[in-house]
């Protein structure tokens, strides 16, 4: 779309919280509600991305230019009205968590164990959620108590944090890695590295696939966005 504003600024709302104004008018969600956040730093960052989008009035911009806005909009419009749905969807990843599935190849299995087990140990100690590890692709049934503990850990997040997890966990294929990222146990770049150990291992044997590299790059960007969004929400 064409940029129709000159100036984007963050403001404090009289009713509390913060908003973004485009030439004095509130930035609104598709449904018409003003975009709002309790975080001043997040409002400032959103104003900055709208100020940069399209470069100047009349320039072309898309929602890809305003990723923080998209995440906050998701939190406000989709997550906040029914957090339970997002919690349930994210918690389900614990049933088939990437970190629990080890390769048949002894060398890769040893690498997975060395890199992944510390995060599973963290989940067990931090959340009371020990998970069962298996070899191969056949599903393994996880303890109900552990899955319930992971659901509780997800449910402890606010709507904005759930929106960030909604980006991170599917990208990683691991609820444990997502929770570790949210908790600051690992950074986004490290979470991404751990999630693609299998791919990188195979590439060293068989060569790189350009499509897979492109997909990994997109996932890395999504994780960096989720990490930044979480930091701004909590600032």
CATH 1.10.3580.10 correct for 83-234: yes
Of 53, 44, 33, residue with least CA distance to 11: 44
CA 32 to chain centre: 25
Mean pLDDT over residues 104-124, rounded? Answer: 97
The reported pLDDT for the residue numbered 212 is: 86
Q: Give the domain ranges of the chain.
A: 8-79, 83-234
Give the model confidence (pLDDT) of 145-154 as tens digits. Answer: 999 999 999 9
Mean pLDDT over residues 220-227, rounded? Answer: 98
Structure confidence at residue 165 as a pLDDT band (50, 70, 90)? very high
The reported pLDDT for the residue numbered 204 is: 85
Long-range contacts of 23-27 (CB under 8 A, 24+ apart): 27/69
Helix 144-155 with 106-127: angle, nearest 10 deg = 70
Size of the chain in residues: 235
Task: Say if residue 41's pLDDT is above 90.
Answer: yes
The reported pLDDT for the residue numbered 158 is: 97
CA 121 to chain centre: 22
Of 17, 33, 27, residue with least CA distance to 76: 33
SS (H, E, C) the chain: CECCCCCEEEEECCCCCEEEEECCEECECCCCCECEECCHHHHHHHHHHHHHCCCCCCCECCHHHCHHHHHHHHHHHHHCCCHHHHHHHHHHHHHHCHHHEECCCHHHHHHHHHHHHHHHHHHHHHHCCCCCCEECCCCCCCCHHHHHHHHHHHHCCCHHHHHHHHHHHHHHCCHHHHHHHHHCCCCHHHHHHHHCHHHHHHHHHHCCCHHHHHHHHHHHHHHHHHHHHHHHHHC
The reported pLDDT for the residue numbered 128 is: 98
The reported pLDDT for the residue numbered 136 is: 83
Task: Say if residue 69's pLDDT is above 90.
Answer: yes
User: Cα separation of 135 and 115, whole Å?
Assistant: 15
Of 97, 96, 95, 218, residue with least CA distance to 167: 218
Mean pLDDT over residues 35-54, rounded? Answer: 96
CB atoms within 10 A of CB 66: 21
The reported pLDDT for the residue numbered 152 is: 98
Average pLDDT, rounded, for the chain: 95
Task: Say if residue 205's pLDDT is above 90.
Answer: no
| Percent of the chain scoring above 90 in pLDDT | 89
Mean pLDDT over residues 104-123, rounded? Answer: 97
The reported pLDDT for the residue numbered 108 is: 96
The reported pLDDT for the residue numbered 213 is: 87
Q: Output the six-digit token pair for 14.
A: 């009289």
pTM over 0.85: yes
Mean pLDDT over residues 129-137, rounded? Answer: 93
Mean pLDDT over residues 147-175, rounded? Answer: 98
Same fold, 8-79 and 83-234: no
Top-level CATH class of 8-79? alpha beta
Task: Say if residue 182's pLDDT is above 90.
Answer: yes
Looking at per-residue pLDDT, the higher value among 152 and 213 belongs to 152
């Amino acid at each position: 779309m064409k940029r129709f504003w000159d100036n984007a600024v963050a403001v404090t709302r009289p009713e509390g919280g913060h908003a973004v104004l485009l030439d004095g008018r509130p930035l609104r969600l598709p449904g018409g509600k003003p975009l709002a956040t309790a975080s001043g730093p997040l409002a400032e960052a959103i104003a900055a991305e709208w100020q940069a989008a399209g470069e100047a009035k009349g320039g072309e911009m898309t929602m890809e230019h305003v990723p923080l806005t998209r995440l906050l909009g998701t939190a406000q419009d989709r997550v906040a009205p029914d957090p339970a749905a997002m919690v349930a969807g994210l918690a389900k990843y614990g049933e088939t968590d990437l970190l629990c599935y080890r390769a048949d190849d002894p060398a890769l299995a040893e690498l997975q164990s060395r890199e992944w087990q510390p995060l599973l140990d963290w989940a067990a100690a931090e959340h009371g959620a020990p998970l069962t590890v298996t070899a191969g692709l056949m599903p393994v049934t996880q303890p109900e108590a552990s899955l319930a503990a992971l659901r509780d850990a997800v449910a402890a997040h606010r709507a904005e944090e759930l929106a960030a997890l909604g980006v991170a966990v599917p990208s990683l294929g691991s609820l444990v890695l997502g929770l570790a990222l949210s908790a600051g146990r690992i950074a986004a770049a490290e979470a991404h590295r751990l999630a693609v150990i299998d791919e990188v291992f195979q590439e060293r044997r068989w060569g790189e696939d350009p499509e897979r590299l492109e997909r990994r790059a997109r996932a890395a960007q999504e994780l960096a966005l989720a990490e930044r969004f979480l930091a701004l929400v909590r600032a």
